[in-house]
């Protein structure tokens, strides 16, 4: 049986996640990148873009690779909607997706939209999909739609949800999450949170109450979350330290087995005994959870979740969602 081939376009390739996704798609057997759109990079060759940033690792593409023929365009929402592209990825800052979504829905030429922003994470007409946690019945329901709309989870929110999902119904009170992210999480637009001089030998706490990802995780898991985010001077990666309280006394081995059993079918989730760290996950599509530590009374647990914010926290998760939605 020959797998179906799909065409794909990305709106917003200037951002880090759009570029990362292109690296993943370069040699995908069933997905062909058809076009790329960016106002700031109009006219730039795709290969030139991929090789221009030392923070990204891409395999050297042969001169025959079709990426060499692609130049970035500036394409309006209306023109994108008329291109009959199978998959459209919206890799835009928060608040900018709606005109593209409206135009695509009106023209009905597309099979799948993946939105990487937070714009539709609380919208029930969109499938919020963290692939390892998605309910198959819910996925099947959305797959019946002519246009499948998927909202990609946030990076911090992914680290927290993967860590907390096995514990649903077993904790009491508010969950406390302390997160640190590389400055790529602050985006490409210049700000104090991605200013090298401000970050040097420094850690920057920000949005210490009611951060968007705090609301996202609380909404998706039905757990009260307290989340404290921080930006640090390395480029990529997230480390999340999580503290929960149990209603019942637990044994450490039972906690580890709970996580291993929960994720036994999930190749991208690694459960380890030692404390995971950033160096173990950068340039990887894995999320590593470990360092499980129990209080003497067996009712308080601290552990760590680590992932690459640009990959499992965004781009590789988007690719997982494409393959999940279209079986490609």
Positions marked active-site = 155
* 179 close to 243: Cβ distance less than 8 angstroms: no
Mapping DSSP onto H, E and C, the string for 40-81 reads CCCCCEHHHHHCCCCCCCCCCCCCCCHHHHCECECCCHHHHH
284: nearest Cα among 299, 262, 304, 306: 306
Cβ neighbours for 301, distance < 8 A, ≥ 6 positions apart = 243, 244, 245, 246, 250, 255, 292, 293, 294, 295
Q: How far apart are CA 310 and CA 20, in angstroms?
A: 7
Q: What are phi and psi of 229, to 5 degrees?
A: -90, 150
Q: How far apart are CA 228 and CA 85, in angstroms?
A: 40
Lookup result for tokens 């979740």: 305
């Amino acid at each position: 049986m020959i797998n179906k081939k799909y065409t794909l376009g990305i709106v917003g390739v200037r951002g880090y996640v759009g570029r990362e996704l292109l690296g993943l798609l370069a040699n995908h057997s069933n997905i062909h990148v058809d076009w790329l759109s960016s106002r700031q990079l109009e006219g730039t060759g795709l290969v030139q873009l991929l090789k221009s940033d030392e923070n990204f690792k891409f395999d050297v593409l042969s001169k025959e690779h079709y990426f060499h023929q692609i130049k970035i365009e500036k394409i309006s929402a209306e023109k994108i909607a008329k291109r009959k592209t199978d998959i459209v990825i919206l890799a835009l800052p928060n608040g900018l997706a709606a005109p593209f979504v409206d135009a695509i829905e009106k023209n009905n030429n597309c099979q799948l939209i993946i939105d990487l922003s937070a714009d539709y994470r609380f919208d029930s007409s969109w499938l919020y999909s963290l692939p390892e946690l998605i309910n198959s019945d819910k996925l099947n329901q959305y797959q019946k739609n002519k246009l499948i709309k998927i909202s990609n989870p946030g990076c911090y929110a992914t680290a927290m949800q993967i860590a907390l999902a096995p514990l649903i119904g077993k904790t009491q009170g508010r969950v406390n999450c302390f997160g640190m992210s590389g400055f790529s999480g602050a985006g490409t637009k210049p700000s104090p949170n991605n200013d090298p001089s401000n970050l040097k030998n420094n850690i920057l706490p920000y949005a210490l109450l009611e951060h968007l990802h705090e609301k996202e995780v609380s909404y998706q898991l039905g757990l009260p979350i307290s989340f404290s985010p921080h930006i640090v001077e390395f480029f990529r990666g997230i480390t999340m330290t999580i503290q929960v309280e149990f209603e019942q006394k637990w044994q450490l081995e039972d906690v580890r087995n709970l996580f291993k059993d929960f994720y036994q079918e999930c190749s991208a989730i690694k459960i380890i005994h030692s404390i995971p760290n950033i160096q173990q996950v950068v340039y990887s599509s894995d999320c590593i959870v470990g360092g499980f530590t129990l209080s003497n009374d067996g009712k308080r647990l601290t552990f760590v979740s680590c992932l690459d914010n640009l990959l499992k926290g965004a781009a590789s998760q988007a690719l997982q969602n494409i393959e999940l939605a279209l079986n490609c």
